[in-house]
Amino acid sequence: MPFTALILNPIHPGAATAARELGALGEVRTYLTTPESPGPEQVAQALSEGAGSVVVAGGDGTQRLVAGALAGTGVPLGILATGTACVYSRNLGLPRGLAGAALAMTGVPRSMDLGWASLDGGSPEPFLVATGMGRDAETLLGVRNNLKKRLGWVAYVRAGLGTMGRHRLPLRINGQPIEAWTVLAGNVGRVPTASLFPGARPDDGRLHVMHLGVDGWRDWWPVLLTGMTHSRRDIGKLLRWETAHVLIGSDIPRAVHLDGDLRTAARSLEVWIDPGTLRIRCPGERRLMPFR
């Protein structure tokens, strides 16, 4: 008989509570992730053993890897956010705690998009929120684990203050030379405190790209105002557009991240969107609306 597989990152404080809450709602088998085996292998094992649905309990990194392993399978995925930022679940409006556990088990499966990225022509890696090359990825070098546990997503803001004053980098977008603080490609619209891509939805079938051309502190103020007011208007240092595919390049290896996970520095970052490849459990009575 089909069961629900819980893919659980046990390092988070809410892991034990998540397992207990889900177990009270139905037949659940738990598969623990490890740093060496962070999710895809557990998904493969669960499906081979007859799992009819999957719930992932963890942060953005665990969520993206489990989602990538389920892409195209049609198996419903419930998300129970237990990590620090949990940006993707915030964009879906998913609750935490007991309400989140019930939704992860019984919510209505909806078709959602998944982003893919290839670094230097390597194997595609999944992302749910955003990927980027440049200074934003460098910011992650300054995020300390102890601060993440104590401050949550504010730790990312604190680290960002240390890189915002740095100058632009020589990069390329689809072969065209540019100067940019960073180039981002996103699947959803919002991060805590700001909208990167106002109007973007996780089911719109589009890849949202940002060329951020700030060069020092003075250029940041209009950009920050645009983000905090959720404005869709581009300004001189902030250009955004929609596409299905983008190739970001550099003459020397640059920092790259996927959903906040710092990856190996790369010279090229090829990014595309896979529309409707996921089945995510969401509230049945609420239609997904874009963040404004």
Q: Which long-range contacts (CB under 8 A, 24 or more apart) does 200-204 make?
A: 200/290, 200/291, 201/288, 201/289, 201/290, 202/88, 202/91, 202/92, 202/112, 202/113, 202/128, 202/280, 202/288, 203/110, 203/111, 203/112, 203/113, 203/276, 203/288, 204/113, 204/290
**146 inside domain:** yes
Which pLDDT value is given to residue 288? 54
Same domain as 144, residue 97: no
**283 inside domain:** no
Alpha helices in 182-219 (DSSP H): none
The pLDDT tens digits of the residues spanning 11-33 come to 877 788 888 888 888 899 999 99
The pLDDT tens digits of the residues spanning 59-90 come to 899 999 999 999 999 999 999 988 777 899 99
Contact 139, 199 (CB under 8 A): no
> Could you tell me which of 188, 206, 182, 196 has the C-alpha nearest to residue 230?
196
Which pLDDT value is given to residue 292? 37
**84 inside domain:** yes
Question: Treating both helix axes as pointing N-terminal to C-terminal, what angle do 15-23 and 97-106 enclose, rounded to 10 degrees?
Answer: 50
Helices (runs of H) and strands (runs of E) counted in the chain = 9, 16
Q: Is the pLDDT assigned to residue 148 strictly greater than 60?
A: no
Same domain as 213, residue 130: yes
Identify each DSSP E strand in the chain by its residue range.
3-8, 28-32, 51-58, 77-81, 108-119, 125-127, 130-134, 169-173, 176-180, 182-186, 190-191, 194-195, 207-212, 238-243, 245-258, 261-282
Query: Which residues, in sequence order, are bridge partners of residue 108?
Result: 282
Provide CB contacts within 8 A for 221, sequence distance 6+. Answer: none
Same domain as 133, residue 263: yes
Cα–Cα distances (Å) from 94 to 31, 60, 149, in that order, read 22, 13, 21
Per-residue pLDDT band at 289 (split at 50, 70, 90):
very low
Same domain as 8, residue 79: yes
> Could you tell me which of 47, 10, 3, 52 has the C-alpha nearest to residue 32?
10
The pTM (predicted TM-score) of the whole model is: 0.89
Q: 3-state DSSP call for residue 133?
A: strand
**280 inside domain:** no
The pLDDT tens digits of the residues spanning 170-211 come to 999 999 999 999 999 999 999 877 788 999 999 999 999 999
Contact 21, 5 (CB under 8 A): no
Same domain as 62, residue 27: yes
Put residue 199 in one of left, alpha, beta given phi > 0 → left and psi -120 to 50 → alpha: left
Please state, rounded to an integer, the average pLDDT across all residues of the chain. Answer: 87
The pLDDT > 70 percentage for the chain reads: 86
Which pLDDT value is given to residue 15? 80
Strand-strand pairing, 245-258 and 261-282: antiparallel
Same domain as 262, residue 133: yes
Same domain as 189, residue 122: yes
What's the number of domains the chain is made of? 2
Same domain as 232, residue 120: yes
104/284: higher pLDDT: 104
Same domain as 79, residue 161: no
Provide CB contacts within 8 A for 285, sequence distance 6+. Answer: none
Same domain as 20, residue 101: yes
Residue ending a domain, choose from 76, 106, 136: 106
**CA–CA separation, 25 and 23 (whole Å):** 5
**286 inside domain:** no
**145 inside domain:** yes
**282 inside domain:** no
| Mean pLDDT (whole number) for 212-232 | 76
Give the CATH number for residue 130.
Answer: 2.60.200.40
Same domain as 244, residue 126: yes
Give the CATH number for residue 22.
Answer: 3.40.50.10330
| Mean pLDDT (whole number) for 45-54 | 98
Domain coverage including residue 158 = 116-275
Provide CB contacts within 8 A for 163, sequence distance 6+. Answer: 135, 136, 138, 139, 142
Residue ending a domain, choose from 85, 106, 127: 106
Which pLDDT value is given to residue 159? 53
Same domain as 19, residue 60: yes
> Could you tell me which of 129, 255, 128 has the C-alpha nearest to residue 180?
255
**111 inside domain:** no
**CA–CA separation, 201 and 139 (whole Å):** 25
Residue ending a domain, choose from 84, 106, 128: 106
